[in-house]
Structure 1
Amino acid sequence: MNLPVEEVARWGDRIPKERPVYLYCRSGNRSRKAAEYLARKGYTNLYNVEGGVLAIARAGYPLVR
């Protein structure tokens, strides 16, 4: 599921809590906030890409749109 951070509160409850949730954004800030919100809602299997897509690019990994 690909959601803008402002939609997480509205759609987050549709994500099963037992499934892993991977969060990322451009810089890692919005995905961190989304992860914090989901953690407060009881999600425990959360993975935030620290530094976001920019960190992935800096590490030399190819990005595909």
Structure 2
Amino acid sequence: MRGKGKGMNIMKKFFIVVFMTLTLVSALSGCATKPPEKAQYIDISVQQAKEMIDKGEVFILDVRTQEEYNAGHIRNSTLIPVQDLSKRLNEVPRDRKILVYCRTGGRSAAASEILVNNGFTRIYNMKGGIIEWTTAGYEVVK
């Protein structure tokens, strides 16, 4: 009788170990197949953008046309029209925060997506664009 009881204990331990192993493998495989979260850009107000600019925290990227830029732009901004951005990514620093703006916010959102999709991680889209900027009374230069 003793031998039979001892064999049952070994079998119980074996099944417990197998069950725990399968549970662990199942849990770990669920984690391994979960896709990583996609990097995203952050929408900010013109007031937040002004604070970042005043602190010297950002590279300012204007994605409008040359004509729009000539009519008035944020001081120290760099013009790369959104349609040229994919070909000119080497002109955008990867080691700084990037503030992106356009006329009203549509093209800058598209440009922000291009940057994120190309590995840039600290992207800030200025909602409302230069229209909102000037409405707030902030300076533009020609």
What is the TM-score with the length of structure 1 in the denominator?
A: 0.83
Superposed counterparts of 1:1-65, under 5 Å: 1-65=78-142
The structure carrying a bigger helix percent of its residues is 2
Runs of 4+ with deviation above 3 angstroms: none
The 3 A distance-change label for structure 1 pair 62 and 15 is closer
Question: When the two structures are aligned, how many residues end up with a matched partner?
Answer: 65
1:5 and 1:15 mapped to 2: Cα distance?
Answer: 13
2:134 and 2:93 mapped to 1: Cα distance?
Answer: 30
In the alignment, structure 1 segments of 5+ residues that lack a partner are none
Q: Specify which structure has the bigger relative contact order, considering alpha-carbon pairs within 8 angstroms and separated by 6 or more residues.
A: 1
1:57 and 1:15 mapped to 2: Cα distance?
Answer: 25
What CA deviation, in whole Å up to 9, does each residue of 1:21-65 have, x standing for no partner?
221111111111000111111111112211100011111223222
The structure carrying a bigger strand percent of its residues is 2
Rg comparison, structure with higher value: 2
SS at match of 1:64: coil
- CA-based RMSD: 1.5
